[in-house]
Structure formats: structure tokens, C-alpha cells
Amino acid sequence: MDRTFLTRYAWLSIVAALATIALKSLAYLLTGSVGLLSDAVESLVNLIGALIALAMLIIAARPPDSEHNYGHSKAEYFSSSAEGFLILIASVSIAYTAIQRMIHPQPIEQATIGLAVSAAASLINFFVSRILLKAGRNFHSITLEADARHLMTDVYTSIGVISAVAAVALTGWVILDPIIALVVAANILWSAYQLLRRSALGFMDTALDEGDQKLVEQVLDKYKAEGIQFHALRTRQAAGRRFVSVHVLVPGKWSTHKSHHIAEEIEADIRNTLVGTTVFTHLEPVDDPLSYQDIDIDRKN
């Protein structure tokens, strides 16, 4: 399936990042809040991440070629890894700035205007994140899903920062501003860990999730009544693509023609159950001892 249309979601993320950077930078200039500054820095990371996501989605959409027989879909993991590292750097810089502000506290000015501007930026991130998350789940794109979750982290961060600025304005306790900034940094750090972990699992050919594997096994169970057995079931997820391989053990008296047609039916059933899945089957006679020498490579979990 041609996935080049996914790049339009990356463009949407880029536009949203530019808008929120402008709004949050204005909010910081109006208030002098380090919390709002941390929020603006995270939006800058969003922009860089969105640009990387666009580049990787373009590469991932390329068809298989002589050097990449299984396609380029894993390029999406480079995007999510890069965004994870950028978020990590942002969290460290925010924490450093917050500690400096604790040592040298500064009052917050024009809090009402700054909060209104920051709230407008958060609304943009919220609506864009919902669009990206839905598209990421529908089209199995870790790039879009990672971008969406990062934007939602930005929304939660903004809520915390806005609360802190409001609390400082009401109480006069300027120490609340850098404290909230440190909480923001910790939250961003957790987001970075999750993205990096999931990207690493993708590079390591992690198996399909339990729900998808059960669907595959349900398809295979339908054929067992016909005297067919299965082993060496292996699956893997490569960003937007899924792969399933299985050995199909048929009665030795069956003709090659009949066995081949059964294998084709099994592959088609799996593809119809898990749309966009590439399926490989290997035919073996069920009554030949040699067919069971490779049973140890069975990997259902």
C-alpha cells in the first residue's frame, strides 16, 4: 500500500509546531516565566521532530528495491529514536534553567495575557495530536503515533505550567515556577524513555502484539480440522508493515497442486484478517520425521 499520503500529517505537525513556538515564545516574553520558557523549548523540539518525521515518512513510503527487499518501513524508527533523543536533551536543558531560576528567582509579569496565549497554543497541540494519534493507529505508523503522544505530553505540560503561573500570580510564591519546570522536565524525560524503548524494540524485530498473534492463530485453527498442522510460527512488526511466517504440514498423500492451493488460501486468510501483512508459508509433509527437525524455531510469543 502506498503510504506517501501520511506525509500530509507530518506537514500538519510542522505547521502546528511553528504556531505554538510563536505563541509560547510570546507568552514567555510577556511573563518571564521559566515554566513557559520550558514549554516553548519543548515546542521547538516538536518542530525538529516533525521535520525528521516528514523525511522518514518519505523514505518509509518507498517500495522495496534490490538493496531493501523488505521495503523501507523501518525508517520510521529512526524518526521516533531521533525525537526521543531530542526530548531527552530538552528535558536536561529545562531542568538546568529551572535550577538557575531557583538560585536567582525573578517575578512573573503580565500573567493573565501570558496564560491566555499559552492556552491558545495548547489547544492547537491538543487537536493536532488527536488527528495524528488516530492516523497513527489506523495506518500503524509509529512516527505519527510518537509525534501525537509527544504533542499530548506538551498539552499536559502546558496545563501544569499554566497552573504554576496562575498560582504564582495568586500567591506571589515565585519558587512555584521553577518547581513546576522541574516536574515538566521529569515528564518530558519519561516521554523520551518510552519513545526510545519502543524504537529499540522495533529495530530488534519485536513480534506482533498478543491480539494480532491470536488472530493469526485463529486463522490457522480453521485448517487443523482438515488434517493440517503448523509450527515455526514467527511474526514481526516493522513500523507500518507486519510479517508472518509459518510452516504448513500437510498429509503426504496430497498432490503438490492441492498443497500449494491450501497454502495460498492460508496466506490470503491471514492477509484479510491483518490487512497489510506479508505472509510466508513453507510446505512440509506431516508424516515425514524431517518435517519436525525445525520445530524448535517455533516462536509464538
Question: What are the angstrom distances between the C-alpha of 55 and each of 5, 10, 19, 203, 282?
Answer: 13, 9, 20, 18, 37
The reported pLDDT for the residue numbered 35 is 62
Place of cell 512488526: 237
Query: What string of pLDDT tens digits covers the 301 residues of the chain?
Result: 556 788 888 899 899 889 888 887 887 777 776 666 766 776 777 788 788 888 888 888 788 787 877 777 778 888 778 877 877 877 787 788 778 777 877 665 555 676 777 788 888 989 999 999 898 888 878 788 878 877 877 787 777 777 777 777 777 777 777 787 788 778 778 878 887 887 887 777 788 888 888 999 999 998 888 889 998 888 888 776 789 999 999 998 899 999 999 999 999 999 999 887 889 999 999 887 877 776 666 554 4
282, β-bridge pairs: 247
pLDDT for 188 equals: 77
Residue 157: all three cell numbers together? 505540560
Cβ–Cβ contacts within 10 Å for residue 264, how many?
12
236 bridge partner residues? 243
What is the domain partition of the chain in residue ranges?
4-203, 210-297
Q: DSSP alpha helices (H): ranges in the chain? A: 7-31, 34-60, 75-103, 111-138, 142-171, 176-203, 210-224, 256-273
Residue 36 burial (CB count, 10 A) = 31
Do the beta carbons of residue 272 and residue 216 sit within 8 Å? no
Query: Mapping DSSP to helix (H, G, I), strand (E, B) and coil, where does residue 142 land?
Result: helix
Helix or strand run (H / E) with residue 207: none
d(CA 165, CA 173): 10
Q: What is the pLDDT of residue 268?
A: 93
Q: Which three cell numbers stand for residue 265?
A: 488460501
pLDDT score, position 269 = 93
Domains 4-203 and 210-297 are alike in CATH topology: no
- CATH 3.30.70.1350 fits domain 210-297: yes
CA angle 44, 158, 147 (to 5 degrees): 50
- For residue 129, the SS3 value is helix
Q: In what order do the strands lie in the sheet with 277-285?
A: 229-238, 241-250, 277-285
Within 8 A by CB and 6+ apart from 141, the residues are 3, 6, 57, 76, 135, 239, 240
- What per-residue confidence (pLDDT) applies to 1? 53
| 4-203: in CATH 1.20.1510.10 | yes
Distance CA 178, CA 84 (A): 23
SS3 204: coil
